[in-house]
Amino acid sequence: EKVPVSMTINGQKVQQSVEPRVTLLDFLREQLALTGTKKGCDHGQCGACTVHVNGRRINSCLTLAVMQEGNEITTIEGLAQGETLHPMQAAFIEHDAFQCGYCTPGQIMSAVACVREGHAGSPEQIREFMSGNICRCGAYDNIVHAVTAVKD
């Protein structure tokens, strides 16, 4: 049986009915068609599903939509300001910080949190903070370059 839930997603109030077993990830992708957030493993091991909840990053596959009552969610769709990319998005392009791009939304959401939370002081710190975001193409060096560029 569905239950009502309301939250703010990318600055917009969202009120929906959702089955209690639905993850935030599936809620975003399937119920709201916000498909920028990716499903890699669905088990908290790859980081492709990273979003921000009240400013902190989480794996959206590991939390239920109904647990987000009243929360502020930001997804990759919410980073750009109109036609202007977020500085981290621009840095990923400038530094070739992706190949296939599947992990990129999650990488960027983690990278934004990395800088905001003060963990971008060195390449080692960046790698540590970003270690939950797996890239099968191995674009790690350029991801670190992009995060470093935004930090400066």
> Which tokens go with 35?
């498909």
Q: How far is the CB of 88 from ligand FES (least distance, A)?
A: 19
Alpha-helix runs per DSSP H in the chain: 24-26, 87-94, 104-116, 123-129, 140-151
Q: How far is the CB of 69 from ligand FES (least distance, A)?
A: 21
**What's at 123, amino acid-wise?**
P
Question: Residues in the site for ligand FES, rule: CB under 6 A?
Answer: 39-42, 44-49, 59, 61
Distance, in Å, from the CA atom of 73 to the CA atom of 4, rounded to the nearest integer, reads: 17
Please identify, using beta-carbon distances, which residue of 62 and 149 lies nearer to ligand FES: 62
Distance, in Å, from the CA atom of 78 to the CA atom of 32, rounded to the nearest integer, reads: 13
Q: CA nearest 7: which of 74, 60, 62, 61?
A: 74
Residues 6+ apart with CB under 8 A from 131: none
Q: How far is the CB of 38 from ligand FES (least distance, A)?
A: 7
Q: How far is the CB of 101 from ligand FES (least distance, A)?
A: 15
Q: How far is the CB of 44 from ligand FES (least distance, A)?
A: 5
13, 46, 54, 56, 131 from 72: Cα distances, Å: 9, 23, 5, 10, 25
